[in-house]
Amino acid sequence: MSRPNNFVILGGGISGLSTAWYLSRYAPSSTKILLLEGSNRFGGWIKSKRVGKHKILFEQGPRTLRPNGVGGSVVLDMVNKLNLTPSLHAVTKDDDAVKNRFIYYPDRIIKLPGTSLLSSLKSIIMNNFLLKSIPSILFEPFIKPQKNNHDETIHEFISRRFNNSMSDILISALIHGIYAGDVKKLSIRSTFTRLYDLEQRYGSVIKGLLMSNKEAFLSQQDKDLLKIINDENKELLAIFKNVSLYSFKDGIEQLSSAIVNDLKNRENVQLKTNNQVTKLEFGENVKIFTNDGIYEADHVISALPSRALYHILPKKDTLPHLNYNPSVSVAIINLAYAHPNILPVKGFGYLIPQSTPNNPYHVLGVVFDSDAMPLQDEPSRTYTKLTVMMGGHYFNSISEKDDFPSEEILLQRSIEILEKHLGIYSTPLYYLVDIQKNCIPQYYVGHYSRLKELHYAIKRNYTNQLSVTGASYWGVSVNDCVLNSAKLVFNFLSNSPNVVTGLEKVEIE
């Protein structure tokens, strides 16, 4: 295969931007790169805004990144190369924001077992459902495994290997925090891949955790990437060994903005906003039609949500499943109070499990932003900042009808909830309310098998003219998005495999 020389990347979220960044850095300088973004800004769901006279930072999308795993290292490497290290705000593993995590169940805030033995024991003894989990953890290694690559819901898997209350309470809360999704619909294989793999390989999650090491599940490509990154970023990675979470002085958007600024300085890169792609045509080259013009490419990399790609394909039936998974909508209500200490507890915040009764406003969780990132505002530690997240899978039916509650109602409901859950009676000094429509893709059961079919269909029908990256496929976190874009580019540059789709992981089973 001759390597494409003229790339058009669709979508200017973190996946599209990082794809352009890796291509611009590592492909020969003769490679032409054009990125087309439909809206009037880059960054996609990454949105950090400063509000009001005091320029308070509110995050409407991602608010923290994790340094762990291959994705964590890849993003830190990028941060280093973009000279963003002076702006880093890191939270260490011994910080209250990391140690203190809560859920709201059934009618109060409960601290989850922390890192210290004493506090873990205390929270287990004081909470009946945690106490009930202990026997299920002890007996898990004796439960017969299902080792036939069978996918099932998160709820089915956790209930089968542990117990119902663990899936109904702990895991459903966690899933509200990551996917805003329903544990009874999401695929264990594609969301908690490590747990799934542990059962497949060791027959038990607990046995696997005890027997495996960090390297056990890394592909050769992951290992090669890690080796290069570790060698090039020794100092930063050593500092980050003790870090659990991080962001930047001006929020996560500092990352996407730094990528955009870097790309603007590259002669072979063109970035265009206000270019909504409406149609693709495949012939000798690919023609890309937007509301602003027609462009040509040897190869198109779609970093769009899979449903958006579905709508611009010339023949819808040439690629299966792009339209299968829905995405959920989440209402984000950011609030800042003019007092530093109005919270009854210190920590990262709390999540609300699906099984919590009396959750009429469908709150998914509340983040204590001023505890998690206390230094992003001036003067620091002056405000209490909170983010209430509502909706997700609970909004599915109103999302279809586009019948969301108004911003006033969402604000009022948030204030009511904070009064009830946290005893906060003050009026917020600043607030921001937004509904992020269709923002988090939901990997329903069977996602992996569908990706496999999609991979072979791209190979067959669009050989070397189309590949995909983005949150619709291999993970929704910023780390996942950047890692998958990096791998896509490195596959192109190494000519291996000789047809790149972005989904080749399905071939290494």
Ligand X SMILES: Cc1cc2nc3c(=O)[nH]c(=O)nc-3n(C[C@H](O)[C@H](O)[C@H](O)COP(=O)(O)OP(=O)(O)OC[C@H]3O[C@@H](n4cnc5c(N)ncnc54)[C@H](O)[C@@H]3O)c2cc1C
Q: Which of 20, 97, 277, 366 binds ligand X (CB under 6 A)?
A: 277
Closest CA to 441 of 408, 417, 468: 468
Q: Which is nearer to ligand X, 212 or 276 (CB)?
A: 276
Binding mask 113-152 for ligand X (x = CB under 6 A): ----------------------------------------
Q: Return all residues near 34 (Cβ < 8 A) that are at least 6 apart.
A: 7, 8, 9, 269, 270, 272, 295, 297
Q: Which of 7, 27, 62, 364 binds ligand X (CB under 6 A)?
A: 62
Closest CA to 421 of 338, 372, 363, 337: 363
CB of 82 to ligand X, least distance (A): 17
Binding mask 214-253 for ligand X (x = CB under 6 A): ----------------------------------------
Number of residues this chain uses to bind ligand X (CB under 6 A): 38
CB of 266 to ligand X, least distance (A): 19
CB of 72 to ligand X, least distance (A): 10
Q: Which is nearer to ligand X, 305 or 428 (CB)?
A: 305
- Of 41-60, binders to ligand X (CB under 6 A) are 44-46
Q: Which stretch binds ligand X (CB under 6 A): 63-71, 121-129, 188-196, 228-236?
A: 63-71
Angle in degrees, CA 65, 334, 326, rounded to 5: 65
**Site for ligand X contains 71 (CB under 6 A):** no
Q: Which helix (H) or strand (E) holds 24?
A: helix 14-26
Q: Which stretch binds ligand X (CB under 6 A): 164-172, 301-309, 346-354, 499-507?
A: 301-309
Q: Which is nearer to ligand X, 45 or 462 (CB)?
A: 45
Closest CA to 341 of 371, 375, 366, 376: 371
- Helix 117-126 and helix 128-139: axis angle, to 10°? 110
Q: Which of 14, 263, 300, 503 binds ligand X (CB under 6 A)?
A: 14
Strands 430-441, 327-337: pairing is antiparallel
**Site for ligand X contains 61 (CB under 6 A):** yes
The torsion of the CA quartet 422, 428, 434, 440, rounded to 10 degrees, works out to -30
**Site for ligand X contains 13 (CB under 6 A):** yes
**Site for ligand X contains 72 (CB under 6 A):** no
Q: Phi first, then psi: give them for residue 468, nearest 5 degrees.
A: -130, 150
Q: Which helix (H) or strand (E) holds 459?
A: helix 447-461
How far is the C-alpha of 175 from the C-alpha of 191, rounded, in Å? 9
CB of 247 to ligand X, least distance (A): 9
Closest CA to 22 of 499, 498, 493, 496: 493
Closest CA to 257 of 83, 382, 134, 428: 83
Q: Which is nearer to ligand X, 348 or 430 (CB)?
A: 348
Long-range contacts of 292-298 (CB under 8 A, 24+ apart): 295/8, 295/34, 295/36, 296/6, 296/8, 297/4, 297/6, 297/7, 297/8, 297/34, 298/4, 298/5, 298/6, 298/7, 298/465
**Site for ligand X contains 428 (CB under 6 A):** no
Residue 368 three-state SS? coil
**Site for ligand X contains 65 (CB under 6 A):** yes
- Of 437-496, binders to ligand X (CB under 6 A) are 439-440, 470-471, 476-479, 481
Q: Which of 97, 308, 454, 483 binds ligand X (CB under 6 A)?
A: 308
CB of 39 to ligand X, least distance (A): 4
Structure tokens belonging to residue 220: 């050769």
Report residue 117 CA to chain centroid gap.
30
Q: Which of 8, 23, 38, 127 binds ligand X (CB under 6 A)?
A: 38
Dihedral sign, CA of 372, 373, 375, 376? negative
How far is the C-alpha of 331 from the C-alpha of 335, rounded, in Å? 13
Q: Which is nearer to ligand X, 328 or 458 (CB)?
A: 328
CB of 483 to ligand X, least distance (A): 11
**Site for ligand X contains 436 (CB under 6 A):** yes
**Site for ligand X contains 67 (CB under 6 A):** no
**Site for ligand X contains 20 (CB under 6 A):** no
Q: Which is nearer to ligand X, 151 or 369 (CB)?
A: 369
**Site for ligand X contains 305 (CB under 6 A):** yes
**Site for ligand X contains 69 (CB under 6 A):** no
Q: Which stretch binds ligand X (CB under 6 A): 77-85, 96-104, 132-140, 305-313?
A: 305-313
- Looking at the DSSP bridge assignments, the partners of residue 385 are 336
CB of 49 to ligand X, least distance (A): 13
Asked if 101 and 170 count as a contact pair (C-beta separation under 8 A), the reply is no
Q: Which is nearer to ligand X, 171 or 277 (CB)?
A: 277
Q: Which stretch binds ligand X (CB under 6 A): 11-19, 119-127, 189-197, 410-418?
A: 11-19
Number of other CB atoms surrounding residue 52 within 10 Å = 12
Q: Residue 164 to residues 33, 105, 205, 362: CA-CA distances in angstroms?
A: 50, 15, 16, 21
Q: Residue 75 to residues 85, 135, 224, 457: CA-CA distances in angstroms?
A: 12, 39, 16, 30
Number of other CB atoms surrounding residue 84 within 10 Å = 18
Q: Which of 330, 331, 372, 433 binds ligand X (CB under 6 A)?
A: 330
- Residues contributing to the site for ligand X (CB under 6 A): 10-16, 36-39, 44-46, 61-65, 276-277, 303-305, 308, 312, 330, 332, 436, 439-440, 470-471, 476-479, 481
